[in-house]
Every structure is written in C-alpha cells, then in structure tokens.
Amino acid sequence: MSTQPVKTLESFANPAPHRDYQIHMEIPEFTCLCPKTGQPDFATLVLDYVPDKRCVELKSLKLYIWSFRDEGHFHEDVTNRILDDLAAALKPRYMRLTAKFYVRGGIFTNVVAEQRKKGWKPVEKIELASFEIQSNTRGE
C-alpha cells in the first residue's frame, strides 16, 4: 500500500457506460503552497463528472491530490492542471472541477473549470413532483 503522494491517476471500467449519470466528490483537505510567499493555501475541491468508459479510482485520486501539498501553484493554475490530468486519464463525457480556496488576505477565491467531450450534450433533467408529508403531532 502506497503512503506517498503520486501523480498517477488510476481508473476502472465504468459499470454503466450505457447511461449518463453524475459522480460527485468533495475533497475538503486540498493544500498547495502560494508561489509568491510559500505559505500554505487550503481549498475544498468539488469534482462532478459524467463518466464515459472510465471512472477514477479513489485511492489514486487521494494520493494524486496529496502530491500538490509541497508545490507552489496559483489557484487558477492548479485547478486547471488537476482538471486536465483527470480529463486525460478518464476522457469523461463531462467534467467540472470547482476549487473553493479559503480566505487569504480577506479574499475567498473560487475557480471553476469544465471539460466537455466533443458533441456531448446533457439529457434534459426531468423534475418529478415532490410531496410533503405532514406529521400528525396531535396523535390522530
């Protein structure tokens, strides 16, 4: 079992390649260094994607994300680099990476980058009626 950060992303076969479905991941412990000051930057990464033939293996994703810990990157650079690496490894139908960096100097920074397979369009979302269930607090 590897306990060291690595830049390799592993994947596995999509178990349902015949349909579009969304995979949502939240990575609340991303760190890298400010390239100007060397101080740590902290972010929550939110990854949403519609897989095509491959899905990312979670342990390799964790070790890949960890590999940025001691590297200096501007927020925009590291967000786009991670998206590029994931898109190259998985070739998804659609992928969005949102990097929500914590406050630094009174400024929160959110960077959103997207990748879309040529010609892919999302299926129209169907809204189903929702029903509220009223609880009967009077014991009736």
For residues 97-116, give the mean pLDDT: 94
* Tokens read off for 42: 């902290």
Q: Is the pLDDT of residue 131 over 90?
A: no
Q: Is the pLDDT of residue 82 over 60?
A: yes
Query: What phi and psi, each to the nearest 5 degrees, are found at residue 44?
Result: -105, 125
**pLDDT value of position 129:** 80
Helix (H) / strand (E) element for 50: namely: strand 40-50
**pLDDT value of position 19:** 94
Domain locations along the chain: 11-116
Closest CA to 90 of 65, 62, 123, 57: 57
**pLDDT value of position 124:** 83
84, 113 contact by CB (below 8 A): no
Query: Known catalytic residues?
Result: 34, 41
* Cα 80 to Cα 86: distance, rounded to the nearest angstrom: 10
* Cα 64 to Cα 32: distance, rounded to the nearest angstrom: 12
- State the CATH architecture for 11-116: 2-Layer Sandwich (3.30)
Give pLDDT tens digits for 55-76.
999 999 999 999 999 999 999 9
